[in-house]
Amino acid sequence: MFTSVLMIEKALTSADVEFVTTLHGDESVSFHVLLQPRGDQADRLLRAIDDVALGELDEAVREGGTPEGEEAMSVGQRALEVSLAALHAAGSEATGRLVQDHPLDALRSLVEESGADEVIVLTDPHYVEEFFHRDWASRARHKVGVPVLKLFSHSKA
């Protein structure tokens, strides 16, 4: 069985689930999901700049309403439960946990614990972080010792 660690920031959509579960053809895949809610990983200014770069001006204005702290963790827990249920429904084994602090340290630990074959980072585009190579995928490539695949979410969750 192929083992993937999947880093996400929001609930997986049906298109995301189909995409990650079919990456390896007919080979069965076990997923270990790490979810860090969006409100805890970047400050509002960077998120607003990303929204403007994507042409989503309405979203940029609403960044102040993005859950932070405990509220973000509650939203994150629901997103994790939905994502795990969707992966199970697609026929994949899946476990998961929320990440509160230091997501790349948690990623490295989980890769070691699970003996993962790869890491898949599935997020919305974060142009500022990507430009400076400060996004999860760029930084993970130097920490985890397995291939890191960067994918963009298919649609809003």
**Average of per-residue pLDDT across 40-66:** 54
* pLDDT band (50, 70, 90) for residue 157: very low
Query: What tokens does 12 get?
Result: 């997986």
DSSP conformation class of 40: G
pLDDT in tens, 73-109: 678 899 999 999 999 999 999 999 999 888 889 999 9
Outline where DSSP puts E strands in 25-155. Answer: 29-35, 93-98, 118-123, 148-152
DSSP conformation class of 146: S
